[in-house]
Amino acid sequence: MDDICTYRIEVEGRMNENGRNSSSPLEMVVLQADEAATLFTICTDQSGAIGLIRYLHGRGYVLLSVVRDC
């Protein structure tokens, strides 16, 4: 649970790139973004990933996938 891993998260639609990292609790690296979906990675432990998922959900983003790569 305390292992730092890379998580690939895909959300529906295009994320607001101006405020993405300034208002997020974790730095997100965008891999792909278009009108249909945005795919990005974060490096964190499990609790950080859960916190980011809750943060995104609270801002109205629809999660399409969450994949853990260690």
Convert the pLDDT of each residue in 1-52 to its tens digit.
678 999 999 999 998 765 566 666 778 889 999 999 999 999 999 999 999 9
Residue 40, SS3 per DSSP: strand
Structural tokens at position 5:
């891993």
pTM for this one?
0.84
Measured CA to CA in angstroms, residue 15 lies from 6, 20, 37, 59, 65 at distances of 19, 7, 8, 11, 15
CATH code, domain carrying 53: 3.30.70.100
Q: Which domain holds residue 25?
A: 5-69
Give the count of alpha carbons within 13 A of 70, CB side only. 9
How many structural domains compose the chain?
1
